[in-house]
């Protein structure tokens, strides 16, 4: 006898036979979405559209305009690209899918030189795969069997990462004759991956762009950002130098007891980045009077600004720091967002007139009374905090809007040195499984919020969308105007963050809307061995998040 189950979707109820796949229900609900449905939640668990109904349940669907759906869309496009490269070059050539750059993700072609013509061939092969309407088939296999298979086809990046996973079974995906390991869900069919673009950088690197969460209806053009590409390539070379190119390499380093050396090398590499910037500023000392540092949330701005200030002092500068937070408008003048809440992330929440007046006077050698903002009362307070700039003085200003010319409109561009900071590069799981740099920042923020504000992981995850929205509006549009770049990512850090953040993620309740996101992050961290924080110096940028920073005692 066939069993029937009720499936609730919003205000509708479908009665379906046991074994009915979600794709059949998704077809009935597609009319409510602007783009093809990518993935679903069944009773708050993330599942693919090939999921078979076996109980009464609540279902929610997601297209590429949602965070869940957009992640599935991009990963599905990546698997299409991997298959296309296999069709163009054969099994000997692979691709390493790396980190976000501008409006795309940087990829490195392995074992073959890249030309614009060959990149066009890859794009054409992807188009053919899309037209073939191939199904992404998932299968659970024994981990040891998956390792044997990948070893046979010489995909050692897969073999090595699976070695350190404790699960007895793992999920593989098949597309045509290609099998791959992805730790995220993938789409149902290639016909739904309609928009993607490949952009040539050089004979090794190219960009794959897909519709973003912020612009799901289009692919924004990739703008060449040479300084960030340079940091990306520098990071790659450094990874090769210390033998850590992916999570498996880091796990191996931990397993043989060599992680202390990797930590030291990583910290020195980060220090050199700051030293080089201090040297560049010194060479421009005749014109540069203000150093401006900005970056997205949890990039390590505070520690980096303090360390850079020390390096500038070794160059003979007297450093004066200003905080834009002290120049917030009084609460009753603060603009509000669309929800009627105070919009403290807007540049118009800052008293721009007063801030620029003070900058002008300081550069003229005049004395100014710097305010202190009382966040409880919502007012600026002037307590005779006078400062004055002398010939060897330099201002260091760190803040959300530091790269925006509107913040310092009274100061000529030649007198400013702008620095953009972010964890640009991230140690990925293997060649095809990238970890978003925003996920690194998210993990950092969860740890710091819990440590300093007692905030639970679910609360930080809930506010992350609004944080990201502010970053795309107020930070990223100005990154290309930076004179210098700080890459605050450290190759070893995910192993350390895992130790602190995993318990916090497990505390998210199963009924919480943030539970699937917590599980997604836990699944990423399962690919890494934990690293104790004992060997991390007190002045490390990671200390800004996990605690024990020596800078907060200065």
Q: What pLDDT, in 10s, does the model give residues 434-464?
A: 998 899 999 999 999 999 999 999 999 999 9
Token duo for residue 427: 């140690």
Please give the average per-residue pLDDT across 176-195, as a whole number. Answer: 94
The closest alpha carbon to 434, from 69, 61, 108, 63, belongs to 108
User: How large is the average pLDDT for residues 353-366?
Assistant: 95
**4-63: CATH, from 3.10.20.30, 1.10.760.10, 3.20.20.60, 1.10.1200.10:** 3.10.20.30
Q: What percent of the chain has pLDDT over 90?
A: 80
Distance, CA of 371 to CA of 451 (rounded, Å):
28
Average pLDDT, the chain: 93
C-alpha to C-alpha distance for 427 and 436, rounded to whole angstroms: 9
Task: Enter the tokens of residue 443.
Answer: 């993990």
Q: How far apart are CA 30 and CA 111, in angstroms?
A: 42
SS3 58: strand
Residue 191: DSSP 8-state: G
Beta-sheet strand order (sheet of 178-181): 137-142, 169-175, 178-181
- Asked whether the beta carbons of 551 and 302 are under 8 A apart, the reply is yes
Q: What does the block give as tokens for 409?
A: 């409109």
Which tokens sit at 549? 């920073």
The two structure tokens encoding residue 37: 């449905």
pLDDT, one tens digit per residue, over 521-539 is 998 999 999 999 999 999 9
Cβ proximity of 528 and 494 under 8 Å: yes
Task: Give CATH for domain 226-553.
Answer: 3.40.50.300
Residue-wise DSSP of 318-370: EEEEEEGGGGBPPGGG--B-TTSSB-TTSGGGB-HHHHHHHHHHHHTT--EE-
Provide the residue ranges of all domains of the chain, joining segments of one domain with +.
4-63, 68-209, 226-553
pTM score? 0.90
Per-residue pLDDT tens for 232-267? Answer: 888 888 998 999 989 999 999 999 999 999 999 999
DSSP code string of 234-250: HHHHHHHHHT-SSHHHH
DSSP one-letter code for 53: P
Output b/e per residue, 286-310; b: 16+ Cβ within 10 A. Answer: eebbbbbbbbbbbbbbebbbbbbbe
> What is the Cα gyration radius of the chain?
25
Query: pLDDT-derived band of residue 552, with 50, 70 and 90 as boundaries?
Result: low
471: tokens are: 């970053």
Question: Nearest-CA neighbor of 201 among 269, 101, 273?
Answer: 101
Rounded CA gap, 111 and 105, in Å? 20
Strands 372-374 and 379-381: antiparallel
| b (16+ CB within 10 A) / e for 467-492 | bbebbeebbbebbeebbbbbbbbbbb
pLDDT at 341 over 90: no
**H-helix or E-strand spanning residue 148:** helix 143-152
Q: What is the pLDDT of residue 554?
A: 41
Is 3.30.980.10 the CATH classification of the domain at 68-209? yes
> Which tens digit of pLDDT belongs to each residue from 26-57?
999 999 999 999 999 999 899 999 999 999 99
User: What span, in angstroms and rounded, lies between the C-alpha atoms of 493 and 542?
Assistant: 7
């Amino acid at each position: 006898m066939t069993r029937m189950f009720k499936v609730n979707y919003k205000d509708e109820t479908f009665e379906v036979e046991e074994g009915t796949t979600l794709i059949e229900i998704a077809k009935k609900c597609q009319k409510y979405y602007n783009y093809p449905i990518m993935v679903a939640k069944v009773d708050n668990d993330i599942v693919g559209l090939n999921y078979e109904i076996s109980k009464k349940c609540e279902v929610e669907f997601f297209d590429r305009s949602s965070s869940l759906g957009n992640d599935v869309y991009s990963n599905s496009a990546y698997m299409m690209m991997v298959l296309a490269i296999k069709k163009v070059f054969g099994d000997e050539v692979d691709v390493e899918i790396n980190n976000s750059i501008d409006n795309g993700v940087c990829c490195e072609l392995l074992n073959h030189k890249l030309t614009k013509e060959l990149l066009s061939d890859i794009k054409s092969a992807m188009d053919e795969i899309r037209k073939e309407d191939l199904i992404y088939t998932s299968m659970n296999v024994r981990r040891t069997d998956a390792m044997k298979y990948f070893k046979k086809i010489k995909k050692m990046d897969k073999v090595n990462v699976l070695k350190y996973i404790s699960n007895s079974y793992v999920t593989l995906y098949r597309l045509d004759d290609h099998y791959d390991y992805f730790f995220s869900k993938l789409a149902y069919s290639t016909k739904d991956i309609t928009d993607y673009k490949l952009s040539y950088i050089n004979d090794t690197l190219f960009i794959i762009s897909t519709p973003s969460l912020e612009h799901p209806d289009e692919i924004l053009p990739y703008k060449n950002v040479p300084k960030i590409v340079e940091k990306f390539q520098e990071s790659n070379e450094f990874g090769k130098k210390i033998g850590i190119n992916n999570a498996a390499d880091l796990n191996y380093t931990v397993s043989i007891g060599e992680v202390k050396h990797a930590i030291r090398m990583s910290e020195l590499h980060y220090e050199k980045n700051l030293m080089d910037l201090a040297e560049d500023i010194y060479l421009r000392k005749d014109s540069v009077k203000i150093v401006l540092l900005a970056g997205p949330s949890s990039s390590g701005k505070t520690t980096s600004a303090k360390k850079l200030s020390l390096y500038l002092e070794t160059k003979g500068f007297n450093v004066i720091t200003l905080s834009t937070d002290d120049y917030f408008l009084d609460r009753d003048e603060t603009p509000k967002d669309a929800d009627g809440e105070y919009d403290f992330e807007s540049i118009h929440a800052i008293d721009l007139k007063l801030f620029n007046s003070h900058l002008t006077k300081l550069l003229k050698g005049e004395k100014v009374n710097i305010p202190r903002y009382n966040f409880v009362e919502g007012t600026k307070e002037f307590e005779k905090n006078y400062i004055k700039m002398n010939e060897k003085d330099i201002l260091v200003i760190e803040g959300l809007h530091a790269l925006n010319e509107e913040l310092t409109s009274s100061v000529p561009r030649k007198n400013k040195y702008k620095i953009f900071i972010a964890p640009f590069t991230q140690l990925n799981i293997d060649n095809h499984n990238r970890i978003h740099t925003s996920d690194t920042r998210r993990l950092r923020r969860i740890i710091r919020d819990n440590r300093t504000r007692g905030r639970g992981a679910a609360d930080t995850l809930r506010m992350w969308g609004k944080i990201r929205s502010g970053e795309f509006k107020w930070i990223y549009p100005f990154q290309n105007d930076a004179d210098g770049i700080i890459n605050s990512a450290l190759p070893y850090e995910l192993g350390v963050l895992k130790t602190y953040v995993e318990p916090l993620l497990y505390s998210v309740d199963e009924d919480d809307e943030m539970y699937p996101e917590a599980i997604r992050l836990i699944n990423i961290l399962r690919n890494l061995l934990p690293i104790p924080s004992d060997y991390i110096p007190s002045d490390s940028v990671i200390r800004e998040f996990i605690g024990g920073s020596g800078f907060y005692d200065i």
